[in-house]
Amino acid sequence: MRNAFTCSQAVLLAALSVGLFGTLTAGEARALDKVDPYICPTKEKGSGTECFLEAIPQTYTMCRHIKSIEVIEFGLVGSQEGVNGAKTDGCIDKHKLSVNLPYQSALRAARNPAEVQSLRKLYATWLESMAKLHPAPGETDEGYKERVVRPYGEFDEQIKAIHALEDAPLPAGAKRPPKKTAPNS
């Protein structure tokens, strides 16, 4: 028979099916295996939400430090002239990518629209704060330093609100996540 599987082909197909099933059902846990522990150093083994919430101030700090070095090196005005701001721009671009996986995982894990909205608001605040790391025209050194520290308070406030939503009981009409059951032995 030409279309019949050989025994070794059947075993290979079964092994691939089990591997594919395991990959599809592991979903979120496997996705976070690819997260750089540098962006969420204490929560890399936690949930996507935990990693995302830790990554927001962590990545902002990294890029803020790079911009601070550029300001020290070239001065406030000179830190954006020519290619002087390229390191900060590179940091921002890099972390937009590195934060994406935990962010998407956090959105998938959200239990209700309020959590989704809060996660999106935090992400938007972070993006806006990253874009504002560049000194504004005519800004004083002291004014710049005060402005780039402000987002930490916003991040902290929004992260606390997200934790409160996570800890709150689900509304009566909300879908509960499926219970994890032990496989039959």
pLDDT in tens, 149-165: 999 999 999 999 999 99
Question: What is the mean pLDDT of the segment spanning 125-129?
Answer: 98
Residue 64 domain flag: yes
Q: What tokens were used for 152?
A: 């930490």
Note down the domain range covering 40: 36-167
| Res 22 pLDDT > 50 | no
Residue 172 domain flag: no
Residue 90 domain flag: yes
Q: Minimal CA–CA distance to 126: which of 80, 61, 67, 69?
A: 61
**Can you give the pLDDT at residue 9?**
44
Q: Does this model's pTM top 0.95?
A: no
Residue 134: DSSP 8-state: S
Query: What residue type is assigned to position 71 of the chain?
Result: V
- Domain count for the chain: 1
Residue 54 domain flag: yes
